[in-house]
């Protein structure tokens, strides 16, 4: 992996401030780093009235023949607008630190994969039209109804789908030109860790994958790059060599650049799929490319893991998720 570019300045969501970029600091992992966000409970309470009004508009529109065709898209648009009207800050801030980015632990082999199209569109994850009676414990839980209905179709845990859908929603709000879809994130999550369940780990309802998933030492053997420790063992528990960590298998130095608290638990944790999925979305959108363009999609996926067979696996998996989600 070549050093990824710093994430471009985020565009402000309606009624909110732009997402701040990470500030440069040391190359060791921060302990207990927090991001300046309001509590999700407060945000959801502020959002409740506006989203209920949005829900009434959508219900009325859906009763019209043409309205039924536009209801799904209108739901998401009206929720974003409602967030701006209510002043609720729902977009998390980056919690990472600028650091030297090490190469990936995979062989540096560039191969052109067969796909000639970007993954096809899928069933669109949308928040509900009305707010929950009580605030959600995780911002991603606003996608619970969609995730619960989609999970048996795609064989992905509900909690994981919530994390991927929320990550798509955030980058759609802050980096609309990227056009990243949840299917690409889900495909990467499947290949990297079976959605946080590799090596006997279990994905909890809080989106934390335990015990932590830690890849092999990047010591130059077994087709890995040789990467000396960059995090003092804070993330990968090894003070000699780096390891890829968490359900999205971030190298520590890359994690420090894109780390984010996506679930308002005041932690930036690569073993938390909420945080890891959104960090991966920020990473994939960092070059500022439109990912519906085939060459751009290939480029960012290969930057995640520069192996042709990996690109093909991500494409095939994303396609399968997209098609299955529409059944």
What are the pLDDT digits (tens) for 91-139?
Answer: 444 443 332 222 222 222 223 334 556 665 555 665 554 444 344 579 9
Per the listing, tokens 């960590």 go with: 245
Kindly report the number of other CB atoms within 10 A of residue 215's CB atom.
Answer: 20
The per-residue pLDDT for range 36-93, each reduced to its tens digit, is 333 334 444 344 444 444 444 434 443 443 333 333 344 444 443 333 332 223 444 4
In Å, what is the CA distance from 139 to each residue of 3, 39, 40, 132, 207?
31, 10, 7, 12, 12
Least confident among 69-73, 130-134, 243-247, 322-326:
69-73
pLDDT over 90, % of the chain: 55
The predicted pLDDT at position 55 comes to: 45
- ∠ Cα 82 85 90 (to 5°): 65
**Contact (CB, 8 A) for 207 and 270:** no
Cα–Cα distance, 56 to 35 (Å, whole number) = 34
Cα–Cα distance, 84 to 104 (Å, whole number) = 39
The predicted pLDDT at position 115 comes to: 55
* Gyration radius from the chain CA atoms: 19
The predicted pLDDT at position 184 comes to: 97
- pLDDT surpassing 50 at residue 326: yes
Contacts of residue 300, Cβ cutoff 8 Å, sequence gap at least 6: 284, 285, 287, 289, 291
Q: What is the mean pLDDT of the chain?
A: 72
Strand bridging mode 202-203 / 209-210: antiparallel
SS3 297: helix
pLDDT over 70, % of the chain: 58
Selection from 141, 147, 156 nearest residue 194 by Cα: 156
Mean pLDDT throughout 6-32?
31
Kindly report the number of other CB atoms within 10 A of residue 204's CB atom.
Answer: 14
Selection from 129, 107, 150, 152 nearest residue 308 by Cα: 107
Mean pLDDT throughout 140-167?
97
Cα–Cα distance, 58 to 204 (Å, whole number) = 33
CA 28 to chain centre: 23
Which secondary-structure segment (H or E) carries 144?
A: helix 144-154
Instruction: Annotate 67-129 with three-state secondary structure.
Output: HHHHHHHHHHHHHHHHHHHHCCCCCCCECCEECCCCCCCCCCCCCCCCCCCCCCCCCCCCCCC
Contacts of residue 235, Cβ cutoff 8 Å, sequence gap at least 6: 29, 245, 252, 255, 270
Q: What share of the chain is helix, strand, coil (3-state, %, to 5)?
A: 45, 5, 50
SS3 196: coil
- What's the half-sphere exposure (Cβ side, CA atoms, 13 Å) at 282? 34
The predicted pLDDT at position 308 comes to: 85
- pLDDT surpassing 90 at residue 213: yes
- ∠ Cα 72 8 46 (to 5°): 45
Cα–Cα distance, 98 to 66 (Å, whole number) = 48
The predicted pLDDT at position 125 comes to: 66
């Amino acid at each position: 992996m070549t050093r990824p570019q710093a994430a471009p300045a985020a565009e402000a969501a309606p009624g909110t401030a732009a997402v701040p970029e990470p500030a440069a600091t040391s190359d060791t992992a921060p302990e207990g780093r927090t991001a300046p966000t309001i509590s999700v409970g407060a945000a959801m309470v502020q959002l409740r009235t506006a989203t209920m009004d949005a829900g009434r508009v959508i219900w009325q529109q859906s009763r019209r023949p043409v309205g039924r065709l536009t209801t799904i898209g209108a739901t998401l648009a009206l929720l974003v607008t409602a967030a701006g009207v209510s002043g609720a800050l729902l977009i998390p801030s980056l919690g990472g630190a600028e650091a030297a980015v090490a190469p990936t632990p995979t062989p540096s082999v560039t191969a052109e994969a067969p796909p000639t199209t970007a993954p096809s569109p899928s069933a669109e994850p949308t928040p509900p039209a009305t707010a929950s009676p009580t605030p959600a414990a995780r911002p991603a839980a606003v996608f619970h109804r969609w995730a619960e209905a989609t999970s048996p179709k795609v064989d992905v845990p509900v909690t994981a789908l919530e994390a991927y859908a929320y990550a798509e929603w955030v980058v759609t709000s802050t980096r609309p030109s990227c056009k990243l879809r949840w299917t690409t994130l889900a495909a990467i999550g499947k290949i990297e860790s079976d959605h946080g369940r590799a090596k006997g780990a279990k994905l909890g309802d809080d989106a934390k994958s335990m015990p932590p998933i830690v890849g092999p030492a990047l010591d130059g053997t077994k087709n890995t790059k040789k990467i000396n420790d960059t995090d003092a063992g804070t993330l990968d528990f090894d003070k000699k060599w780096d390891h890829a960590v968490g359900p999205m298998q971030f190298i520590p130095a890359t994690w420090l650049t894109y780390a984010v608290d996506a679930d308002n638990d005041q932690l930036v944790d690569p073993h938390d799929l909420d945080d890891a999925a959104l960090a991966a979305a920020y990473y994939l959108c960092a070059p500022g490319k439109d990912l519906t363009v085939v060459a751009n999609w290939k480029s960012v996926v290969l930057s995640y893991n520069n192996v042709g067979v990996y690109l093909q696996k991500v494409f095939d998996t994303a396609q399968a998720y997209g098609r299955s989600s529409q059944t």
